[in-house]
Structure 1
């Protein structure tokens, strides 16, 4: 019994020593001080914008008028005289149908016209002879009236046969498809040997005199850009040349796929260097009213349902809603919410929370202003 007690006391002594050491260490350690979470950011001082607001969209050059041509009669195509890209003149032959059946019908109508002419001439002679006989009282008035009626019927038959003959001549002429305007062939939808019905499009011709640049405008900028008077167009193949354009047409319905509104920008007729299918860039330019603020795009934060910026005041940030007036190159114009002289965050906006303390990384903030961002966002 004595040996068991001694064994228990011997084994408990080291454990008690360890617990005592831990208590003494805890008593001697200092409490951990709580530190503020300070985020490094880049900032800029706001100034009133002094530049034109611009919005640029890409598109392609298309003809203002592109006609889908077809034969006015049906038949078998026997010849195609043009290729895609061929320049054509008004009246130039484009395609031909087999005219054999129409020529036979034309001969038939011509024969019918001759027969109707012979019957009319005979009826006319009969009428004149009976007029003389009636003058001598050799025949009654009823007989003369019958001869006059026969002549009128023969004359009507002749007029009908003449109309049929003229119509058949037209039908034969319709077997040749000719260009109705000067232009360029943009597509061929039928080939020689194919039988087509009347009115089926077989060829497309675009007028080269008048051209448009077709672009898609986002729905939130339609009304704003509708009022813009200055529109500049430059071609990707010749970026140094600026062409003055004009908004000719703006679709009232959004495209079901892209959800943009199709706009057609008319080009002047003297822009001969612009070819169909070229890539073009359309820039809408509008004057900026005094009092607007220009900020880089990455300074804006989406705070549903508003757009906001982080304003720095006394080393801490707060989220301030702003009113966006429109784009200006790579920047955005603000019409309200902030004023010149305030400092906002332009880099690191997605890692902040309201009231958080920040440190500004760019030392040149005192001389930095919005003019530095006219070519793009801060580096």
Structure 2
């Protein structure tokens, strides 16, 4: 009985080995799987970038009074157009006018003293010529006249300063502009230099954009930017970069770029929303169908056919950007690699495949 069991067990083992051998032989005899493939070939592709921004004045000026005082009048409101020399606001001039009157009186007094000293000098010179006085008296009179003359000069300078100070009670527009902000009201006491009114010049306008680091580092300084109104794309102008922020905004991590707009259309008013378009210079990228992508450890990858063995190798790749139907690969592939483009979810590394080389080369 034991011998019979042994024989049966040996028979089962022989049968299992035979079946496994047949399966292995069947796998080794499995024909290569037909696949579609493309040959990797880097192509320099330009990229159009569109960004939304706004129109701002090239020159914005914070105006303030040059002296302390109490605001007497304010003649403008936000949004008003002003012309060069237009009166914007005034300070109470009473104290300054009193200073002017005091300086005028001081000039009159100094002028009288200078006239008296000059007459005395002339008299002493006449007496000296007739030998009635010594030369020392003449020299003493000359000193007195020079002192009085100097006092008169100082008094005139102080009067001019007082009159200038009187003009400082008036705040006038340095050029044609638009009032963009108002920070004072009548009756308010202000310090010298304190911002009272902000003006935006109407002579030149810029388009301001906040761009990502990728665009900021890729754009050359002489690039041309097409700027068009968001509300009316037909209103557009070609601009150049005026300046760019050297550091990123700490909150948004974007860079501020200012585009100069020569002869900007009147419709591009201050604060208008615009769209800026530019073409970035291309760098070598390999264009693949989106169907060619698989993944390895959660990162993009593709299957490449080894030319010597016709077996598949999975290669991780870095994708620069995507379109609706394509993936633009920046690195991970070499020129001439045969990349499988369909059915990648059913493929495995090391699998033998076959493809039409003539069709791939087309």
**How does the TM-score come out when normalised to structure 2?**
0.74
Asked if the contact 1:113–1:161 (Cα under 8 Å) also holds between the matched residues in 2, the reply is yes
- Residue 178 in structure 1 maps to residue 172 in structure 2: yes
Cα shift readout 1:76-125 (whole Å, capped 9, x = no counterpart) = 11111111111111100000111111111111110111000000011111
1:54 partnered with 2:54: no
1:354-369 equivalence runs, <5 A: 355=349
* 1:322-341 map, 5 Å: 322=318, 324=320, 333-338=328-333
1:225, 1:136 → 2: CA distance?
91
Q: Does 1:245 align with 2:244?
A: no
Choose which of 87, 108, 115 in structure 1 pairs with 2:81: 87
Contact 1:70 1:201 in 2 (8 A): yes
Q: Give runs of aligned pairs for residues 283-322 of structure 1, distance below 5 A.
A: 283-288=277-282, 292-294=285-287, 308-311=300-303, 318-322=314-318
Aligned residue for 1:100? 94
SS of the residue 1:272 aligns to: coil
CA deviation vs aligned residue, 1:16-44 (integer Å, no higher than 9, x gap): xxxxxxxxxxxxxxxxxxxxxxxxxxx99
The match for 1:30 is none
Offset from partner CA, 1:275-333 (integer Å, 9 cap, x none): 111112222213436x53346899888989x9744347699893431363x78899774
Deviation, 1:224, is 1.1
Q: Give deviations 1:333-378, integer Å, cap 9, x for gaps.
A: 4444446874547xx99x9997599xxxxxxxx99x9xxxxxxxxx
SS at match of 2:233: strand
How many residues get paired?
A: 312
Matches within 5 A, 1:143-182: 143-182=137-176
**Cα displacement string for residues 141-169 of structure 1 (whole angstroms, at most 9, x for unaligned residues):** 11111100000000000001001100000
Question: Residues 343 and 302 from structure 1, CA distance in 2 versus in 1: closer, same or farther, beyond 3 angstroms?
Answer: closer
Report the RMSD for the aligned CA atoms in angstroms: 3.7
2:4 corresponds to which residue?
none
Corresponding position of 1:214? 208
| Distance of aligned partners of 1:98 and 1:180 in 2 relative to their CA distance in 1, 3 Å threshold | same
CA distance in 2, matches of 1:329, 1:63: 39
TM-score by length of 1: 0.71
Q: Which segment drifts farther, 233-242 or 141-150?
A: 233-242
Q: State the 1:239 CA deviation.
A: 1.7
Task: List alignment gaps of at least 5 residues for structure 1.
Answer: 1-42, 358-365, 370-379
Ranges in structure 2 where 5+ consecutive residues have no aligned partner: 1-35, 352-358
C-alpha change, 1:199 and 1:344, in structure 2 (3 Å) is farther
Q: Mark the CA change 1:57 to 1:298 in structure 2 (over 3 Å): closer, same or farther.
A: farther
3-state DSSP of counterpart to 2:178 = strand
* 3-state SS, counterpart of residue 112 of structure 2: helix
